[in-house]
Amino acid sequence: MTTSHYIAGRWVEGQGSDCISVTDPALGLPFAELMAASVAQVDQAVAAAREALPAWKHTSASDRAAYLRGFAEQLGQRREALIALQMRNNGKPRHEAEIDLDDAIATFSYYADLAEQLPSKNRDVPLAAPGFTARTRLEPVGVVGLIVPWNFPLVTSAWKLAPALAAGCTVVLKPSEVTPLIEQAYGQIADTLGLPAGVLNIVNGKAETGAALSNHAGLDKLSFTGSNSVGSQVMRSASAQCRPVTLELGGKSAIVVFDDCDVDQAVEWIVAGITWNAGQMCSATSRLLVQDGIADTLLARLQQALEKLRVGNPLAEEVDMGPLTSQAQWLKVASYFATAREEGLQCLAGGHALDREGWFVSPTLYADVPVDSRLWTEEIFGPVLCARRFSTEAQAIAEANDSRFGLVATVCSADLERAERVADALEVGHVWINSVQAVFVETSWGGTKGSGIGRELGPWGLSGYLSVKHVTRCLG
């Protein structure tokens, strides 16, 4: 797979110095290889997007919507191939890979509808002062760089690509070097639909490619999803150019379970919140706060549930949880198991890597974890759950909010008035009440504190790619 970059409407070979090895994490073996884009090719991609911008931003809203619906339809036609690739390259169980694809399809369809509504957003503005008229225009930000992570490829790129195209922006997309293949579908679809050359460009690579894109003076905006350490570098690059940036970063999210909650339902919500995608989610609810009255019963049932999970190769068997996506992530999670042993944490389930080929770890539960433990405060990005007990609502809110992150949270209680009250008090961007982490394209996604800047999805996701212009005219 040498022609791995889509620039100015053409597939081209990588000319960079890095060779990207694409691996099946269930086997720990590579199955594809491609050369990274060079810095010069990043320049070419940005130049192509810049050249395509004037015509694309003046394309009618209905035409842009038609292209977006075409993306949705074409993703559906590639369904089985894309599901299989998510399973093979990410290690996702089939039911998770299916939801990923459905999410991407829904995103393009949703922003097609919003694109058609954009002309109605341009409107006259009433003024208190006589003798003047004013009107508002919403215009595309311009050329945007989109950098997406490896844990939800196809999905995160859809969350960025669809609203950017709907707004009239042209884009340069950089997938993760861990999962570079599935985003190729977007370039293939662009060819099929006859999307004008340069509107969508895809460059693959490692850190050098990402730095070349984020530092590029030809961009008007950057949107990045990934780790806090890389996000801070992206933000520095944006600040040097004084341009807007959207950052969706890490989390160390809490799930708060009150003692009036049904134990079986609570276990279902907790397990889903920590083992979906093998815990490799910025939104993983990895801090369990459980009220005293239910704690012993819940922890015992939770231990049983985690030990019963089927962990294995999703291409070979029916599983509940697959492997971690990369060896680097496997080593990182294993290092936290070692830290837990050094700290003397009480391990109720798991706490070790699995002795088999591939990058598998056991679903893990630690009980009564101190608030100063590294496992309580740091994002692990694996199926590692830390539990603490609380007695009062105020204590639960205080401990849930005691984090440098603020992405999501879950509240479990039969008292809906209390659940709503606690949800309002939590310092996060999204709260679920008595639910698994159901994410809908109509809602917003993003966090507070160290979890990032800006919002994706919903109308907020579209507004991130639009600039507001006012035109004021004197009538005298």
Looking at residue 153, which CATH number applies to its domain?
3.40.605.10
Average confidence (pLDDT) over 73-87: 97
In a domain, 426, yes or no: yes
Beta pairing, strands 364-367 & 346-349: antiparallel
Q: How many domains does the chain have?
A: 2
> Are 268 and 181 part of one and the same domain?
no
474 catalytic residue (yes or no): no
For residue 160, give both structure tokens: 């960025």
> Are 409 and 422 part of one and the same domain?
yes
Q: What pLDDT shows up at residue 176? A: 97
Enumerate residues 6+ apart whose C-beta is below 8 A from 155: 100, 103, 104, 107
CA dist 340 → 6, 275, 285, 289, 329 (Å) = 45, 19, 18, 19, 17
> Are 230 and 84 part of one and the same domain?
yes
Confidence of residue 476 (pLDDT cuts 50, 70, 90): confident
Q: Mean pLDDT of all residues in the chain?
A: 96
The residue annotated as part of the active site, out of 248, 379, 399, 456, is 248
Q: Are 155 and 100 in contact (CB under 8 A)?
A: yes
User: pLDDT by residue (tens digit) across 148-185?
Assistant: 999 999 999 999 999 999 999 999 999 999 999 999 99
**How much of the chain, in percent, has pLDDT values that exceed 70?**
99
Q: What is the pTM of this model?
A: 0.96
Using CB atoms within 10 Å of the CB of residue 148, give its burial: 0 to 12 exposed, 13 to 18 middle, 19+ buried: buried
Q: What pLDDT shows up at residue 430? A: 98
Q: What pLDDT shows up at residue 7? A: 98
The residue annotated as part of the active site, out of 177, 183, 261, 282, is 282
Q: At what angle do helices 228-241 and 207-214 cross, to 10 degrees?
A: 30
Average confidence (pLDDT) over 412-427: 98
**280: alpha, beta or left, given left = phi > 0 and alpha = psi -120 to 50?**
beta
Average confidence (pLDDT) over 219-229: 96
> Are 192 and 330 part of one and the same domain?
no
Q: What pLDDT shows up at residue 3? A: 64
Q: What pLDDT shows up at residue 4? A: 87
248 catalytic residue (yes or no): yes
Q: Are 464 and 455 in contact (CB under 8 A)?
A: yes
d(CA 190, CA 193): 5
> Are 201 and 162 part of one and the same domain?
yes
Domain hosting 265: range is: 254-440
Q: What pLDDT shows up at residue 390? A: 98
Confidence of residue 9 (pLDDT cuts 50, 70, 90): very high
Average confidence (pLDDT) over 19-38: 95
